[in-house]
Amino acid sequence: MTPTAMEELRRRLAQVSDLDAAGSLLSWEQETMMPPEAARVRGLQLATLAGLAHELFTDARTGDLLDAARPADDTEEAIVRVARRDHGKATRLPTTFVEERTRAQNEAHHAWIEARTSSDFGAFAPHLSTMMDLARREADLLGYEDHPYDALLDTYEPGMRASQVRAVFDDLRDRTLPLLRRITAAGDAADYSVLTRSFPYDAQKAFAWDVAGRAFGLSGDFARQDESAHPFQSNFSRSDLRITTRVQDYWPTCCFGTWHETGHAMYERGVSERWERTPVSRGASLGVHESQSRMFENLLGRSLPFWERYFPELQKVAPEVTDGLDAAALYRAVNRVQPSLIRVEADEVTYNFHTLLRFELELGLLEGTLSVKELPEAWNAKMKEYLGLDVPDDAQGVLQDIHWSAGLIGYFPTYTLGNLLSVQLLEAAQRDPAVAAGVANAEYGPLLAWLVTNVHQHGRSLTPGELTEQATGRPLTADPYVAYLHTKYGDIYELN
């Protein structure tokens, strides 16, 4: 029997999904355990999988099937809608452009590594100019109404506009910069030595994983934990989740990093099985994804009820760490606010200034109001303005992140969009008294159920905007996050 167009489309999308999953597995393995000499051929294998998936997804037959497919229900309607959106974006970029960009990314990436090592922005500047040219051309190819940045942002945050981001970010900045000033003015007499007390590496990993299971529901039945230089989450199906962590003497890196990646993993776990092996079967956007990782890491993992619950567990496995302390002291120590140069080490109050700065600079570069040559000076000026810091060299400044070398323009805002959404979602969830009572006692079962219902299960069938409105009753706003910071840190730093 000849399959219908819908059946053939689903078969084809499943093949693309399987090729993507295989590529993800090869990449995960490369970062966690691959023997070093395997790298060269592994790169070729990854390119083949990506190339075949791209060919299969963008060829004319897929377009015909998308036009001819008759969805039987809302599951299939979402599959066709999301696949059509992806297909449109993928086919608007000619193969010659994609190849040119891949070559330029490779060169820029290697130049960035060298430039960062020698802290020499000049050596990276021509590559960044190329990446910005490519970004402008990509925006033109993809198309946009208001601003070229919208076309790029849409890749990571479907439907989001630069103007919305700017409005929310300006509001956030204006209302949290005074808070930061008050915190730094208040001084800090707390003792942070607990954060580097002796905590054997294996015990760190075991504690972080154990709590990820008991607090947040992660399980060896459908997930595993490994080590990698840079922690990440990856998944090959909703029952095949991977998180990685790294361990160091500063033990919070392993714990909070693990719970961060657990947030990402549990999002993928919660996506409805009906989207299996389709393009709907992933988180709605980078921002929504980050809302889940940040919620687990910060809103829950750095909360007082969490440590009241898990401090005794920590005492059992790391008595040297907890010696002479109680849950409140530990809570205090893991919530230090301290302006610093490096984004990935920043606390909840200062973190967003790092992304704001990058967003503002990206807009300037894309519009041409800022030249690549002027970038380090502009970076350093904003670091001084927002965080009061002098940047000693480019390696600790404009060269610190990998993103621009990979052409990821429009990516940084999603970190802060995720922070904002995390509090907005948690606030909405706690309108349910069972959720609120659970959160107050570090019992997250009701919250997880709420998240699956209101966030996870939908996968990409809702845009981030639709999801935010449905789940919280209003569009994304900085209000909950600003209120959260004022309450939490006003209390910690005794500002009120």
Q: Which residues bind a copy of itself (CB under 8 A)?
A: 14-15, 18-19, 21-23, 25-26, 29, 33-38, 40-42, 44-45, 48-49, 51-52, 220-224, 236-237, 239-241, 276-277
**For a copy of itself, which is the closer residue by CB, 34 or 142?**
34
Q: Shortest gap between Cβ of 7 and a copy of itself (angstroms)?
A: 16
Q: CA torsion, points 200, 230, 314, 444, in degrees to nearest 10?
A: -160
**For a copy of itself, which is the closer residue by CB, 37 or 494?**
37
**For a copy of itself, which is the closer residue by CB, 20 or 157?**
20
Q: How many CB atoms lie within 10 A of CB 90?
A: 13
**For a copy of itself, which is the closer residue by CB, 32 or 340?**
32
Q: Shortest gap between Cβ of 302 and a copy of itself (angstroms)?
A: 28
**For a copy of itself, which is the closer residue by CB, 53 or 361?**
53
Q: How many CB atoms lie within 10 A of CB 341?
A: 18
Token pair of 276 as six digits: 């299996």
How many Å apart are CA 182 and CA 189, to the nearest integer? 15
How many Å apart are CA 356 and CA 346, to the nearest integer? 13
Q: Shortest gap between Cβ of 332 and a copy of itself (angstroms)?
A: 37
Is 288:476 a contact under the CB 8 Å cutoff? no
Contacts 24+ apart (CB under 8 A), 364-369: 365/132, 365/409, 366/132, 366/135, 366/136, 366/139, 366/148, 366/149, 366/152, 366/409, 367/148
**For a copy of itself, which is the closer residue by CB, 49 or 132?**
49
Q: Shortest gap between Cβ of 220 and a copy of itself (angstroms)?
A: 6
**For a copy of itself, which is the closer residue by CB, 29 or 107?**
29
Residue 10, burial from CB neighbour count under 10 angstroms (0-12, 13-18, 19+):
buried
Q: Shortest gap between Cβ of 392 and a copy of itself (angstroms)?
A: 37
Token pair of 39 as six digits: 């790298």
Q: Shortest gap between Cβ of 414 and a copy of itself (angstroms)?
A: 28
From the candidates 76, 138, 157, 261, give the one annotated as an active-site residue: 261
Amino acid symbol at 341: L
Q: Shortest gap between Cβ of 229 and a copy of itself (angstroms)?
A: 17
Q: Shortest gap between Cβ of 278 and a copy of itself (angstroms)?
A: 12
Give me the DSSP letters along 357-412.
HHHHHHHHHHHTSS-TTTHHHHHHHHHHHHH------GGGTTTS-SGGGGT-TT-T
Is 391:182 a contact under the CB 8 Å cutoff? no
313 is known as an active-site residue: no
Strand 233-237 relative to strand 240-245, pairing: antiparallel
E strands along 239-307, which residues?
240-245
Q: Shortest gap between Cβ of 15 and a copy of itself (angstroms)?
A: 5
**For a copy of itself, which is the closer residue by CB, 36 or 368?**
36
How many Å apart are CA 219 and CA 223, to the nearest integer? 6
Give me the DSSP letters along 222-256.
TEEEEE-SS--EEEEETTEEEEEE---SSTHHHHH
Residue 337's closest CA among 177, 199, 481, 479? 177
Amino acid symbol at 262: T
Residue 440's closest CA among 261, 306, 323? 306
- By residue count, the chain amounts to 496
Is 12:65 a contact under the CB 8 Å cutoff? yes
**For a copy of itself, which is the closer residue by CB, 273 or 390?**
273
Q: What is the largest CA-CA distance in the chain?
A: 76
Catalytic residue positions, numbered:
261
